[in-house]
Amino acid sequence: MSNYIDYIGCDDAELDLFESQYELPEGMCYNSYVVRGEQIAVMDSVDARKTDEWLNRLSASLGDARPDYMVVQHVEPDHSGSLGALLRRYPEVTVVASAKAMQLMQQFGIAPQHSQVVKEGDVLDLGGCTLRFVAAPMVHWPEVFFTYCAEAHTLFSADAFGKFGVYGADADDWACEARRYYFNICGKYGMQVQAALRKVSGLDIRTIAPLHGQVLEGEQLAEALRLYAVWSSYEPETEGVLVAYASIHGNTRRAAEQLADILRAKGAGKVAVTDLTRDDMAEAIEDAFRMSRMVICASSYDADIFPAMHLFLWKLGMKGYRNRRVAIVENGSWAPSAGRVARAMLEPMKEVTIVEPMVTIRGSLKPEDVPALETLADTLLAPSPIE
Ligand SMILES: Cc1cc2nc3c(=O)[nH]c(=O)nc-3n(C[C@H](O)[C@H](O)[C@H](O)COP(=O)(O)O)c2cc1C
Ligand SMILES: [Fe+2]
Ligand SMILES: [Fe+2]
């Protein structure tokens, strides 16, 4: 990567689900780096699935040398999973981490013989190359540190600026899988992401080296910083509407598709439609945060709401969804209940405006229901929160 830094991360093309829930159409990677001054530091390890490959890459980078320090920015097992193996091979290495990280490592059964606790602003001098530690708590675990190497103008950003995919997947479209990663994994912690970014804003950062996804430089780095400022502030990124539906027998789906057509005809901007029972739920979450507006269309179910919609709204609440206009279409054959449940789940979300009146469909959409959908679309589209 530079005179000071080698990349020794590992691709994982076979992992079925990241964190046991996120689909990986292009696999995943766990990044790790060697930083070299007169002394040598390793930055984070990799998932236990890739221990041997990682140790081989580390050996190749080290040559005859041995590492002096093992910096642990984040203890989540996708990064700490190979620490035990490293410590067995290099028992003399000093593990450098926050006090909280030391505690978490102990909980995961990692017991270094030598350790050095660092706090905000501490500098580790490798001799001709320095590492400065910047606390980034709750991005997205409490122990997390970013690390800045002034000589290489490089910010090691832990999981921030990470993405799904093997290294270099979609290299020209970083935002697509970085956005899905951000909102599903860090989305709840926008305030903490902003606080961490403020702390590093004065640094001369020419390279961002995250724990997942490609290393960022130049225009791509500038664009990533711009997007993180938007995402972490919960501002919409794209003028448009996500139409999210959960339909048992297809009638609610047909109503959702018709409403999407109406929205397009009215110049709603980008209109995305997602089937919550079949499409990737994480992508639906991503699109909800991305767009300025949302419509949810759900079947009633056992005096409640169809489970896929319940899960979606529950996840949105958990991830801190806010500051959006939302319209509701419910479908019920004898005692519609989906709208009431959706409303109760949306109301506690900060600055979420429910567009009134919600539309109720009885079983299937009929021509006489269409004017209500037209009115709902008009009310949803005005005024624009982006302008
Ligand atoms: C297991 C089950 C439970 C249902 N519970 C309700 C209900 O509590 N109230 C209601 O009005 N309709 C209920 N329905 C009817 C559905 O809401 C109705 O089939 C749906 O609105 C039709 O739209 P869809 O084709 O999109 O599924 C239920 C349907 C099923 C299969
Ligand atoms: Fe993580
Ligand atoms: Fe991670």
Tokens 């580790």 sit at which residue?
Answer: 124
Q: How far is CA 99 from the centre of its chain?
A: 25
CATH number of the domain where residue 172 is located: 3.60.15.10
Query: Residue 353 — φ and ψ, nearest 5°?
Result: -100, 120
Strands 69-71 and 40-43, bridge-based pairing = parallel
127 and 268 share one domain: no
Q: If we measure between CA atoms, which residue out of 324, 328, 326 comes closest to residue 305?
A: 328
Distance from residue 288's CA to the centre of ligand 2 (Å): 22
Ligand 3 centre to CA of 37 (Å) is 26
Token pair in block for residue 190: 């926008």
Confidence at 387, pLDDT banded by 50, 70, 90: very low
CA of 60 to the centre of ligand 2 (A): 27
Boundary of a domain, candidates 208, 232, 256? 232
Label residue 2 by pLDDT band (50, 70, 90): confident
Look up residue 111 and give its two tokens.
């017991």
Instruction: Compute the C-alpha angle 313/319/325, nearest 5°.
Output: 55
Mean predicted confidence (pLDDT) in 289-304: 98
Judge if 243 and 228 occupy the same domain.
no
In three state form, how does the secondary structure of 316-369 look? HHHCCCCCCEEEEEEECCCCCCHHHHHHHHHCCCCCCEEEEEEEEECCCCCHHH
Identify whether residues 282 and 215 lie together within a single domain.
Answer: no
Provide the pLDDT for residue 383: 73
pLDDT of amino acid 1: 78
Residues 328, 225: one domain?
Answer: no
Q: Does 385 score more than 80 pLDDT? A: no
* Residue 194, CA distances (Å) to 76, 101, 174, 201 in order: 21, 21, 20, 10
Question: Within this chain, do residues 24 and 140 fall inside the same structural domain, yes or no?
Answer: yes
Q: Is residue 387 part of a domain?
A: no
Q: Are 33 and 7 in contact (CB under 8 A)?
A: yes
Tell whether 11 and 111 lie within a shared domain: yes
**Ligand 1: which atom is nearest the Cα of residue 248?**
27
Enumerate the β-bridge partners of residue 35: 5, 41
How many residues does the structure list for the chain?
A: 387
Does residue 364 form part of some domain?
yes
Domain range for 250: 238-381
- At which residue do the structure tokens 């005179």 appear? 3
Helix (H/G/I), strand (E/B), else coil: 100: helix
- pLDDT tens for each residue of 62-108: 999 999 999 999 999 999 999 999 999 999 999 999 999 999 999 99
58 lies in the same domain as 207 = yes
The ligand placed nearest to the CA atom of residue 335 is 1
246 located within any domain = yes
Are both 330 and 181 inside the same structural domain?
no
Strands 123-125 and 130-135: antiparallel
Asked if residue 277 has its Cβ within 6 Å of ligand 1, the reply is no
Residue 142 predicted with pLDDT over 60: yes
- Residue 363 gets the label, from left (phi > 0), alpha (psi -120 to 50) or beta, of left
The CATH number for 372's domain is 3.40.50.360
Distance CA(338)–CA(335), nearest Å, equals 9
In the reported structure, the alpha carbon of residue 385 is separated from the centroid of ligand 2 by a whole-number distance in angstroms of: 32
Closest ligand to Cα 277: 1
Cβ of residue 275 lying under 6 Å from some atom of ligand 1 = no
CA distance 45 to 86: 8
80 lines ligand 1 (CB under 6 A): no
Predicted local distance difference test score (pLDDT) of residue 116 = 98
Specify if 326 maps to a domain: yes
Query: What is the number of structural domains in the chain?
Result: 2
Q: Beta strands 10-12 and 28-30: pairing type?
A: antiparallel
- Å from CA of 277 to ligand 1 middle: 15
Helices (H), 266-325: 281-290, 307-318
Residue percentage of the chain with pLDDT more than 70? 99
Instruction: Assess if residue 386 is contained within a domain.
Output: no
Distance separating alpha carbons of residues 134 and 205, to the nearest angstrom: 14
Mean of all residue pLDDT scores within the chain: 96
Give the whole-angstrom CA distance, residue 129 versus residue 122.
14
Are 48 and 86 spatial neighbours (Cβ–Cβ below 8 Å)? no
Of 232, 263, 297, the one marking the end of a domain is: 232
Pick the last residue of a domain from 232, 248, 264: 232
Considering the domain architecture, whether residues 80 and 48 belong to the same structural domain is answered as yes
Can you read off the two tokens belonging to residue 95? 């593990």
Whether omega for the bond prior to residue 67 falls within 30 degrees of 0, making it cis, is: no
Predicted pLDDT of residue 169: 94
Cis peptide before 140 (omega within 30 of 0): yes
Judged against a pLDDT cut of 60, whether residue 384 lies above it is answered with: no
Same-domain status, 191 and 246: no
Query: 3-state DSSP call for residue 145?
Result: strand
For residue 21, being part of any structural domain is answered with: yes
Indicate whether 386 pLDDT > 60: no
Question: What integer is the mean pLDDT of 329-335?
Answer: 98
- Nearest atom within ligand 1 for CA of residue 336: 11
CA of 276 to the centre of ligand 1 (A): 16
pTM: 0.94
Residues 11 and 91 in one domain: yes
In a domain, 274, yes or no: yes
Judge if 288 and 224 occupy the same domain. Answer: no
Query: Which of 259, 296, 300 for a ligand 1 pocket mutation test, highest count of atoms within 8 Å of Cβ?
Result: 300
